[in-house]
Amino acid sequence: MAKLSKKDLKEPDFFQASVKNIAHYIEGNKTRFYVVLTSAVVTIVIALGIYLYWSGYQKNAMQIYSQAQTNMLENMEDPAVSEKAVDILKELIKKYPYSRSARIAHYHLGNIYYKSGDLDNAIFSYKKYLSSVRSDNAGVKFLTLTSLGYCYEAKKDFETALDYFEQAQKSYNVGFESIGYRNIGRIYEAMNDTEKALENYRKALEKNSDPSMDIFIQKKIASLS
């Protein structure tokens, strides 16, 4: 350890000097000091309150979403079960509209409406999900855009269906590429555009990883060639 010189021993301790300077400043600026201190404490309390409220908000939303998931695992072909699932999801959206669970609830509602043949409500729900989602690395946006394509295809609005299928193909679609090209090919086929239908069916075959689907796509290509 370095030995202190006589000069160092005579000089005031830096820490002590700093404390004294701070104490003198506070003594001379009490009002300003207490205003700043109060503001800091209030800011921390508000931030903590918001955090606790938001955590509770998301937790409560997730509890209702879990109920909906449990219900959706039952026989959804049963109208009573399907109706109950719709009621739970609507309750979630109404009570906690800004929660993450409410966003995905719109997607599930769209699926239920689509399966029951209620295309207009399905379209509305799918679009509500798309308007609330910012980023997607799980493929749900692809599935939603694809589902919108199915809805418009069922309505025989092939132009709109094609637009949504093409949007889906431009979104995060890892693992879904072949499905996307098949959908686009099918729409072009319905629109009697054989050249573009073949182009997309061939792309679907290149991306396909399901051997059983290979046969289906090959038959499609053969029938259009």
Instruction: Give residue for tokens 């959706």.
Output: 72
pLDDT at residue 222 in the model: 92
Walk along the chain (225 residues) and give the pLDDT tens digit of each residue.
555 455 554 555 555 656 566 666 656 666 765 666 677 777 777 777 766 666 777 888 888 888 877 777 776 677 777 888 899 999 999 998 888 898 999 999 999 999 999 999 999 999 999 998 877 767 899 999 999 999 999 999 999 999 999 999 998 888 889 999 999 999 999 999 999 999 999 999 999 888 888 888 998 899 888
Q: What end-to-end distance do the CA atoms of the chain give, in Å?
A: 90
pLDDT at residue 203 in the model: 94
Here the tokens at position 161 are 């269906």
pLDDT at residue 9 in the model: 46
Here the tokens at position 191 are 């629109």
Residues forming CATH 1.25.40.10 domain(s) in the chain: 30-134, 138-225
How far is residue 117's CA from residue 100's CA, in Å, rounded to a whole number? 27
pLDDT at residue 133 in the model: 82
Helices 79-95, 30-72: crossing angle, 10 deg rounding: 170
Does the global pTM surpass 0.85? no
Q: Which CATH architecture has domain 138-225?
A: Alpha Horseshoe (1.25)
Residue whose C-alpha is closest to residue 109's, from 82, 132, 81: 82
CATH number of the structural domain 30-134: 1.25.40.10
pLDDT at residue 165 in the model: 97
Residue whose C-alpha is closest to residue 201's, from 221, 215, 173: 221
CA distance to 70, 174, 177, 200, 201, per residue, from 211 (Å): 33, 18, 15, 18, 15
